[in-house]
């Protein structure tokens, strides 16, 4: 597959109003790629000079809203070349013995089911463009954290969805990316709600990262994610990669 640098191309980014999603949208725009940004609300939109940002207010767990996202993309007349499934939730932070099962269902609705539903809608466009699907995963997909069972399990499921897409969709590249520990609202939630539900040493680790200034800024993993969304070869499809994995430098020059 070749790099995508044409101004009639469009990337779809969920959770685009803040954090990593907003940084990803900005990076696409900087590279001249138009963005349809999906979020439940926008207080501000990324500035763009050589590309267009199109805000689309939607709840990704609502099928009618997802249909509107698809129609908004179709109405642009642009070629959809990338889908970045970034929106996600850490909630509920609770031990399995204490958790509300309905909160687990909601976690999987956001982190897994909505990803599948949105991917289904855009697959015809992505097949036609030999496009790429980037699913934002987590290190928690492979390492358990007390109190994060819903998040860990849903991100592990997302990794398997990515591997399955790679097997089933040879015209599309699908990659799951661990963005690292990023300074976003999710880390704020860990610090405010994790004490007691999380194991003491695990909670302390995140507190220390914050206090020492070691959290990544969203722009750092966003650059790697956009590179993958624009340039990743078919040989990388199905991979679960850290944002700074050597494979990115090896395969993408």
Distance between CA 10 and CA 69 in Å, rounded? 13
Residue in 145, 151, 154, 237 annotated catalytic: 151
Sheet holding 132-136, edge to edge: 53-57, 34-39, 9-14, 79-85, 132-136, 173-178, 240-242
Which residues are bridge partners to 56 per DSSP? 38
> Of these residues, 129, 137, 138, 154, which one is catalytic?
137
137 catalytic per annotation: yes
Whether the ω angle into residue 200 lies within 30 degrees of 0, i.e. cis, is: no
User: What is d(CA 128, CA 86) in angstroms, rounded to the nearest whole number?
Assistant: 22
The question of whether 151 is a catalytic residue gets the answer yes
Question: Two tokens at 142?
Answer: 């492979």
Which entry of 22, 129, 154, 155 is annotated as an active-site residue? 155
Q: Which residues are catalytic?
A: 137, 151, 155
């Amino acid at each position: 597959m070749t790099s995508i640098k044409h101004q009639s191309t469009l990337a779809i980014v969920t959770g685009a109003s803040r954090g990593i999603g907003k940084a990803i949208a900005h990076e696409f725009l900087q590279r001249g790629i138009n963005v349809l940004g999906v979020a439940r609300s926008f207080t501000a939109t990324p500035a763009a000079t050589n590309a267009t940002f199109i805000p689309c207010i939607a709840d990704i767990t609502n099928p009618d809203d997802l249909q509107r996202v698809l129609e908004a993309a179709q109405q642009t007349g642009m070629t959809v070349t990338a889908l970045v499934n970034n929106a996600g939730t850490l909630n509920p932070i609770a031990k399995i013995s204490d958790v509300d099962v309905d909160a687990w269902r909601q976690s999987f609705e956001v982190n897994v089911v909505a990803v599948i539903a949105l991917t289904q809608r855009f697959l015809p466009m992505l097949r036609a463009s030999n496009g790429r699907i980037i699913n934002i995963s987590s290190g928690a997909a492979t390492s358990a954290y007390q109190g994060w069972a819903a998040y860990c399990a849903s991100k592990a499921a997302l990794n398997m969805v990515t591997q399955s897409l790679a097997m089933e969709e040879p015209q599309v590249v699908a990659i799951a990316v661990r963005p690292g520990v990023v300074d976003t609202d999710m880390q704020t939630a860990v610090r405010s709600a994790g004490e007691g539900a999380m194991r003491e040493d695990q909670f302390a680790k995140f507190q220390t990262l914050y206090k020492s200034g070691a959290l990544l800024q969203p722009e750092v993993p966003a650059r790697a994610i956009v590179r993958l969304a624009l340039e990743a070869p078919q040989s990388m499809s199905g991979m679960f990669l850290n944002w700074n994995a050597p494979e990115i430098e090896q395969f993408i020059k």
